[in-house]
Amino acid sequence: MIENSRTRTLIIGTSFPVFHTYLRFYSLREDLEICGFVCDEPSDPVIKVFKVFSFPLLPIYQLKDLENVIIDEKITNCIFHVDSKPIKFCRQIFNRIASCGNCSIEFVSPSKLLLHSHKPTIVMSQIDSNDVESLFPYHLCGILGYSGKRVSVIIPIFDLFQTDECLVLENGIHLQLDRDCDLENIEGLSSAMVQRVTMYFISWAYTVFVTSDIRRAIILSEQSCDIIIYDSNYVHTPIIKRTSKMCVISDSSYENFSKVPTWPGLINYLDSDIIIVLSETEEAVEKAISLKNRHLRSQKVFCLKNSSQNQHDMISLMRRSLSRVIDYNYSPERPETTTIPITMFDTNLMGWLCSTYLTQRKPTLQKHFEAQVDLLTILSEASRKELFVTNNDSANREAFCRLFLESHLPPGYKVSTGEIIDCFSNHTGQLDVVISNDVSPSLTMDTSESIIAPILADCVLCVIEVKTTLTTETLRKALSQLRPVKALMPLTSEIETIEGEIKNDPLNGKIITGIFSFGINGDVESKIPEIASLYPNIADFIVVPDQFGFFSAEILKVSGFDITNRDIQFGYIRSKAKGMSLAFIFGILNSIASLRRFSGSSFIRYLSGHWNDQSEALEKIKHNIKKLLKKPKAPEEPKEEEVFDMINQIGESFDD
């Protein structure tokens, strides 16, 4: 007979988080055989049996029967999950378990039980159940909400409320509340909870979850909000992977934190990143500040003055202080000023909040474009070292630029080289990089793309001149090469907005132009604005990826970038951060490409003109003009527009 090697185990503690922890963690441990739960209240448990999904029924024992259960059920391990109880009470449970002889006590590290959140999460914890309720969580929510963040607040439910003997976990309370909810008439909300939720909505909370299923609330919060605040007035160890954990304590508890009477308050204190010390007088705040150096130096300690009003009075106070600027029924408009009734004596707290949560987040693709800079630099350096012919090295750098562009353009665009013509016979010289739409015909029967053919201007999105090294001389040369590009007259004069609205192209259909270099020589960077001003509106951007970038303010505005006039110098915005220049090129090309609608119908203009011998066409026009200007036999004079048509035909003939 094979003996069961699993350890027979009891879980000490009966709250909703404990039951959910069993479901997603303990029930999966192959080394444990969970035999039941022990109520952590001296009174009889509200429920007798626990049931979830298809798992077997588990009994819930009375605390007074702890020793008998351990002996009768042959329990050898007890997992301690008691929260918000006096330490003296917890010590009694330890002693009772130890008195059974061969039963161990297990404390599972919270790090093994963590619920993961994909949004920044602030966890509020307490050190002592006797501390007065603080305004700070509402104050914090108000700052974040007022700053434009969508804040989701999770208020966990711990106490069991079923009167039925069997607890069905799926039937636990879970309320997702918004500002339009009639809180007074929602079943399951106590008057105290209604007041807490009301205060959060006054403080700019976007949504509030009152729930026994914390994991579910986190998942739903991630889908609609920017920041999550987990707030419990229950002394327990939150099992959420947080961005910041704050322990809010009174000044008296802070002064004697080693004598905190509630379990696991001391663990919360030691595990928190931020300690918020609340005092009711300025003198007490100053005293708390003086004690900061006596405690853990790795933690940030902020001292604030708290209001001593009860919860009802605090609601009235907050409504009065915010009524001038915030509509209780919520308005999406931001008020000009706001006053939340808590005093910041330690101004570093606001600095920490700004740097952690209120500053602009880093761009999602920042590291990607930083890596692209490194990649282009490595390729360029390798080409320089292994080649001896300058022209070959230059050709490679053009290829590297094309490789970057090809991988960062939307579908339907191609990168090539060549010269461009428009329907008025304006043309450019040979260009290094030409980005055109796929509707552009190749105008050659060669499929290898080795034959250079003219490119129609109405299909071109962007032209880039590539330089190995940017100097004042090569900059002037590149600008001169781009002048004919801006002189082209494409017929793309309308764009389509995201909303589907058709409006005039603010760039008048002009092709985007840029200069791309892999290095600089001399003081060219300081001279770029001066030299570019000699060629107005010629270069939309000048970029050296690992050095700097200059971008036309007009092209950035049209592309949707948010820029201010104070950033503009000589019509350009200068970028210095690594990867930023490549990111701007990516943004400009993709934005303008999405706005412009290239169409093959404009190609008809490239077919207009006289296909026969020009002298024959000219003689025909002269004959028609003589006939038209001859004194008419009829009494009516020749129409003026007919004469102008003939003159225009002559002009077109000479142009051809």
CATH code, 65 = 3.40.50.720
Q: Which domain holds residue 96?
A: 7-108
pLDDT in tens, 547-594: 999 999 999 988 888 888 878 888 899 998 899 999 999 999 988 887
pLDDT band at 616 (very low <50, low <70, confident <90, very high): low
Same domain, 97 and 183: no
DSSP 355: I
Mean pLDDT on 633-640: 51
Residues in the chain: 656
605 occurs within a structural domain: no
The more confident residue out of 337 and 149 is 149
Report the phi/psi class of residue 617: left, alpha or beta, with left for phi > 0 and alpha for psi in -120 to 50.
alpha
Same domain, 587 and 620: no
334 occurs within a structural domain: yes
Residue 480 has pLDDT above 80, yes or no: yes
The more confident residue out of 329 and 511 is 511
- Residues 200, 311: Cα–Cα separation, whole Å: 12
Same domain, 472 and 339: no
Domain end position, chosen among 63, 86, 108: 108
Mean pLDDT on 61-70: 93
Same domain, 401 and 482: yes
pLDDT band at 248 (very low <50, low <70, confident <90, very high): confident
**Nearest residue to 13 via CA among 231, 232, 112, 159:** 159
Given the structure tokens 């907050």, which residue do they identify?
Answer: 318
Query: What is the SS3 assignment for 502?
Result: strand
Given the structure tokens 């404390």, which residue do they identify?
Answer: 107
The answer to whether 306 touches 136, Cβ cutoff 8 Å, is yes
Mean pLDDT on 594-617: 60
β-strands 85-86, 262-263 pairing: antiparallel
Query: What is the SS3 assignment for 394?
Result: helix
Same domain, 336 and 439: no
Domain of 312: which CATH number? 3.40.50
Residue 168 has pLDDT above 90, yes or no: no
pLDDT band at 328 (very low <50, low <70, confident <90, very high): very low
Mean pLDDT on 70-90: 92
Angle among Cα 115, 116, 122 to the nearest 5 degrees reads 90
Half-sphere exposure for 580 (CA within 13 Å, toward CB): 13
pLDDT in tens, 420-430: 998 888 999 99
Residue 360 has pLDDT above 70, yes or no: no
Given the structure tokens 């490239």, which residue do they identify?
Answer: 606
DSSP 459: G
Domain end position, chosen among 600, 622, 638: 600
Mean pLDDT on 216-242: 90
Same domain, 55 and 180: no
The answer to whether 446 touches 457, Cβ cutoff 8 Å, is no
Same domain, 383 and 354: no
pLDDT in tens, 499-521: 667 777 778 889 999 999 999 99
- Residues 155, 214: Cα–Cα separation, whole Å: 9
**Nearest residue to 121 via CA among 223, 220, 24, 218:** 218
114 occurs within a structural domain: no
Least confident of 58-72, 258-272, 368-382, 604-618: 604-618
pLDDT at 330: 34
Looking at the structure of the chain, the number of domains it has is 4
- Residues 621, 615: Cα–Cα separation, whole Å: 10
Residue 333 has pLDDT above 50, yes or no: no
pTM of the model: 0.70
462 forms beta bridges with: 435, 512
CB neighbour burial string for 200-235, b if at least 16 within 10 angstroms, e if fewer: bbbbbbbbbbbbbbbbbbbebbeeebbbbbbbbbbb
Residue 69 has pLDDT above 80, yes or no: yes
The beta-strand segments (E) located in 378-470 are 413-418, 420-421, 431-437, 455-456, 460-467
57 occurs within a structural domain: yes
Mean pLDDT on 32-52: 86
Same domain, 540 and 419: yes
Mean pLDDT comparison of 446-455, 474-483, 490-499, 551-560, highest-scoring range: 474-483
- Residues 389, 290: Cα–Cα separation, whole Å: 71
240 forms beta bridges with: 115
- Residues 151, 88: Cα–Cα separation, whole Å: 38
Domain end position, chosen among 600, 629, 644: 600
Mean pLDDT on 372-396: 87
What the block records as the tokens of 514 is 């840029």
- Residues 556, 563: Cα–Cα separation, whole Å: 8
pLDDT band at 145 (very low <50, low <70, confident <90, very high): confident
606 occurs within a structural domain: no
Residue 196 has pLDDT above 70, yes or no: yes
| Measured CA distances, 290 to 262, 294, 298, 305, 430 (Å) | 25, 9, 16, 15, 73
The more confident residue out of 540 and 202 is 540
Mean pLDDT on 167-173: 78
Same domain, 374 and 470: yes
- Residues 174, 218: Cα–Cα separation, whole Å: 12
Same domain, 373 and 494: yes
276 forms beta bridges with: 248, 302
Same domain, 149 and 97: no
H or E element in which residue 550 lies:
strand 548-552
Phi, psi of 482, deg, nearest 5: -85, -15
Phi, psi of 389, deg, nearest 5: -95, 120
Query: Three-state SS across 228-254?
Result: EEEECCCCCCCCECCCEEEEEEEHHHH
**Nearest residue to 145 via CA among 278, 306, 325:** 325
115 occurs within a structural domain: no
Of all residues in the chain, what percent carry a pLDDT higher than 70? 76
The more confident residue out of 456 and 352 is 456
Same domain, 543 and 511: yes
Under 8 Å CB-to-CB from 298, ≥6 apart: which residues?
none
pLDDT at 295: 56
pLDDT at 319: 46
Query: What is the SS3 assignment for 283?
Result: helix
Mean pLDDT on 390-418: 89
The more confident residue out of 363 and 231 is 231
414 forms beta bridges with: 436
Mean pLDDT on 238-255: 83
Residue 235 has pLDDT above 90, yes or no: no
